[in-house]
């Protein structure tokens, strides 16, 4: 059977790979704007030097609470709080995965609480 002119005939076995095609490009660009702002304020890749988990959790909550109060745009950066949340999520992911030494969360089990 001959494929139709507008149907691809090539094979690509990628069904088990990450579906990056489902990511929202506008959101990713907004997170990139937060990273641009942070690079100008601190330095490019500053976050890769490590940030304590508790600081990232605090920042995440502050942006989320601002959204809960009805504030969509961060007053300092003039960028969406949701983009700051995305940036914080990336930072948290990286620190938890690569920098367990920076995990300063208070944990019940560490204090004998169950």
- In the chain, the number of structural domains is 1
Q: What is the pLDDT of residue 1?
A: 58
The residue assigned the tokens 């969406």 is: 80
Is 1 part of any domain? Answer: no
94 or 7, higher pLDDT: 94
Contacts of residue 63, Cβ cutoff 8 Å, sequence gap at least 6: 74, 81, 82, 84, 85, 88
Q: pLDDT digit string (tens) for 90-99?
A: 999 999 999 9
Residue 61: give the domain boundaries. Answer: 49-102
Q: pLDDT digit string (tens) for 39-71?
A: 999 999 999 999 999 999 999 999 999 999 999
Is 25 part of any domain? Answer: no
Is 22 part of any domain? Answer: no
How far from 27 is each of 23, 92, 93, CA to CA, in Å?
8, 18, 17
């Amino acid at each position: 059977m001959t494929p139709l002119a507008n149907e691809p005939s090539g094979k690509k076995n990628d069904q088990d790979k990450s579906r990056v095609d489902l990511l929202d490009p506008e959101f990713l660009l907004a997170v990139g704007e937060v990273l641009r702002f942070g690079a100008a304020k601190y330095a490019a890749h500053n976050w890769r030097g490590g940030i304590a988990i508790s600081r990232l959790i605090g920042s995440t909550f502050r942006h989320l609470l601002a959204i809960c109060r009805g504030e969509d745009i961060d007053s300092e950066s003039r960028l969406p709080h949701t983009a700051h949340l995305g940036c914080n999520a990336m930072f948290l992911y990286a620190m938890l995965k690569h920098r367990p030494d920076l995990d300063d969360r208070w944990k019940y089990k560490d204090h004998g609480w169950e």
